[in-house]
Amino acid sequence: MGKIILPHQSYAFDDIKGGNWAESEPYFADSLRFCQDWLCGQTSFELKTSGSTGTPKTIRVQRTQMVVSARATQGFFRIAAHARLLCCLNTAMVAGKMMLVRGILWDADIYLVNPTADPFSANKLPERFDFVAMVPLQAETCLNNPRGLQKLLGIKHLLIGGAGLSPTLFDKIKEQKLNAYQSFGMTETVSHFALAKIEGENLLYRTLPGVKIGTDDSGKLWVKAPMAIDPLLQTNDLVEMVDEESFFWKGRADFTINSGGIKIQPEILESQIQPWIHTFFGAVPFLIGGKADERLGQKVVLLIESEQKPGFQTENLFDSLSKHIPKYQVPREILFVKPFEKTESGKINRLKTLEKIK
């Protein structure tokens, strides 16, 4: 019988099912409650979407979908029973929840730690794991220190998802010969539906068994998957089909910013920060965009249509935004661009304006 191992305590699945665990910090308590719900047979669960197919929302997925997803991953990697897993992802989101589900269904030992940038930094953990999932920021942090690298080398199957890989991280993984895969999926497909071995020059994604894919007239990927919430899901991902089961990813067709695995909707953020923009710079046109970043994949930047202002105004804006919005949404740079590119109807052309800062 598998168990969940916390930093200072461990619980067999039977104990968790019966609610027999000691009081602990909220993150671990919430994770254990989810496991209890699962072990008691709850048939559906609410999950927050990340925004891959539109505005973030809460959706309800069925237990059967999560089982199909976990079993497909187990079959792909040929994970045996009683495996050793590390869950270092946020269990409030689908990726973390699915690590818990996988561990339970695989009758595994699940080592549960806080989802920090370096999961190995302050935890007494085994030298070897059979299966670990990370976001790129975690993988890169571990690669950049000797202790973390040693731990990564002891992972039999490493899954990296939530954001794209920077060229530097891609090369480091290949250099160390990690058995690592980039995942491709969304909340609506209950985690990944395709995986790419991190090797060669480009990532070739291959679908899991039972998944059918294709593209619409504009080259955007659609998915029919047994683990998906809908029979057909249309994404905003531009892909190059290789055959009926594999593809290369080319980019996003929308404006979603993916910063370190956190997806940010520019239009929503713009409406939130407008009062402070106008306070310090007046009623000037502005937009939020994503700029390539080695560490985060993309970083949030603020573009203002204006001549550059004195430094104190920029500093005051940074200070105000830092106090009123989540830190991962605070722009890493404020850039002054004049003029903004416009559409024929006079609206801001985001793509062409953002091209000016590349």
Tens-place pLDDT, residues 319-350: 999 999 998 999 999 999 988 987 655 668 88
What pLDDT shows up at residue 168?
79
The mean pLDDT value for 273-279 works out to: 88
3-252 and 257-357: identical CATH topology: no
Average pLDDT, the chain: 90
Greatest pairwise CA separation for the chain in angstroms? 65
What pLDDT shows up at residue 54?
46
Q: In this model, does residue 51 exceed pLDDT 70?
A: no
Residue 318, SS3 per DSSP: helix
pTM for this predicted structure: 0.75
What pLDDT shows up at residue 48?
75
pLDDT band at 49 (very low <50, low <70, confident <90, very high): low
What is the tens place of the pLDDT at every residue in 8-34?
899 999 999 999 988 889 999 999 999
Fold classification of 257-357 is GMP Synthetase; Chain A, domain 3 (3.30.300)
pLDDT band at 177 (very low <50, low <70, confident <90, very high): very high
Q: In this model, does residue 248 exceed pLDDT 90?
A: yes
310 vs 344, higher pLDDT: 310
Between CA 317 and CA 307 the distance in angstroms is 16
What pLDDT shows up at residue 27?
94
- Determine how many CB atoms are found less than 10 A away from the CB of residue 134: 25
**Looking at 14-108, which runs of residues are DSSP E strands?**
44-48, 58-62, 84-87
Q: In this model, does residue 52 exceed pLDDT 50?
A: no
User: Is 3-252 assigned to CATH 3.40.50.12780?
Assistant: yes
What is the tens place of the pLDDT at every residue in 191-221?
999 999 999 988 999 999 899 999 999 889 9
Contact of 258 with 218, CB cutoff 8 Å: no
C-alpha distance across the termini of the chain, in Å: 53
Between CA 134 and CA 161 the distance in angstroms is 6
Q: Which of 53-57, 109-113, 171-175 has the lowest mean pLDDT?
A: 53-57
What pLDDT shows up at residue 121?
85
Work out whether strand 191-197 and strand 205-207 pair parallel, antiparallel, or are unpaired.
antiparallel
What is the tens place of the pLDDT at every residue in 88-147?
999 988 899 999 999 999 999 999 999 999 999 877 899 999 999 999 889 999 999 999
Q: What does the CA dihedral 59, 266, 204, 151 come to, rounded to 10 degrees?
A: -80
Q: In the chain, what are the domain boundaries?
A: 3-252, 257-357
The mean pLDDT value for 161-187 works out to: 89
Q: In this model, does residue 310 exceed pLDDT 80?
A: no
What pLDDT shows up at residue 53?
43
What pLDDT shows up at residue 236?
84
